[in-house]
Chain A
Amino acid sequence: QKEVEQNSGPLSVPEGAIASLNCTYSDRGSQSFFWYRQYSGKSPELIMFIYSNGDKEDGRFTAQLNKASQYVSLLIRDSQPSDSATYLCAVNLNFNKFYFGSGTKLNVKP
């Protein structure tokens, strides 16, 4: 079992819609959770991080964490074609290791 699981996609949404990206993790001791965006041929860039259960909003992005269900998600409101990228979920365990999922590819169609 992988430490972090993501649906590889691609997830296709029309411009202006809400994109919902999901991630599950296996270790209940995980401390913090991150979403990175990676454009093709580029390195990952941080979008959001979340430590506590519930929702965290930043502009068009909302991260949701449910530790009981070991589930973290990223919602992108009013999706734009420029949001088309691969989204990587990362989980930090014991402040030592970061485990990354394999990423979900998002396509936002104009």
Chain B
Amino acid sequence: GAGVSQSPSNKVTEKGKDVELRCDPISGHTALYWYRQSLGQGLEFLIYFQGNSAPDKSGLPSDRFSAERTGGSVSTLTIQRTQQEDSAVYLCASSSNTGETQYFGPGTRLLVL
């Protein structure tokens, strides 16, 4: 595609529910990154993929968070048993290879009530 796309753009859920966020990277980009940005804060690294592999999962806040990538393209970030502190904007970025410039998607705004 022309750019990184993410869905849904907004998600409101109740505490305790599971949510799934989707990222569709730029076509041909092998590296994919997930970040979280709380209101007025910087970007918090969550996880990155090189192809379908996630060499570094150290940024995931807890075992409620998981991510996968299939076919070297689309990635999903799943948050189980959501908590109010999970409320944030979740940003996905892709790059042609690790270490190269990242291009960001529009983000998913998650609100946990």
A interface residue numbers (CB < 8 A to B):
31-32, 34, 42-46, 49, 88, 90, 92, 95-103
Contacts and interface: CB of A to CB of B under 8 A. Distances in A.
18 contacts: A31-B99, A34-B102, A42-B106, A44-B91, A46-B103, A90-B43, A90-B102, A92-B99, A95-B99, A96-B55, A96-B56, A96-B98, A97-B45, A97-B56, A98-B33, A98-B102, A100-B42, A100-B45
A85 B45 CA distance: 21
B25 interface: no
Interface residues of B, number: 19
Given A42-B106, A102-B42, 4 more contacts: A34-B101, A43-B104, A49-B101, A88-B42
Contact of B91 (A43, A102, A103): A43
Contacts, number: 45
B62 interface: no
Interface of B: 33, 35, 41-43, 45, 48, 55-56, 91, 98-99, 101-107
A101 B42 contact: yes
Contacts of B107: 43
Nearest to B56: A96
What 3 A-B pairs are tightest by C-beta distance, nearest first? A95-B99, A102-B42, A100-B43
Contacts of B43: 44, 88, 90, 100
Given A32-B99, A43-B104, A46-B101, A98 B91 contact: no
A104 to B, nearest CB: 10
B71 to A, nearest CB: 22
A88 to B, nearest CB: 7
Interface centre among B42, B45, B102, B107 (most CB of A within 10 A): B42
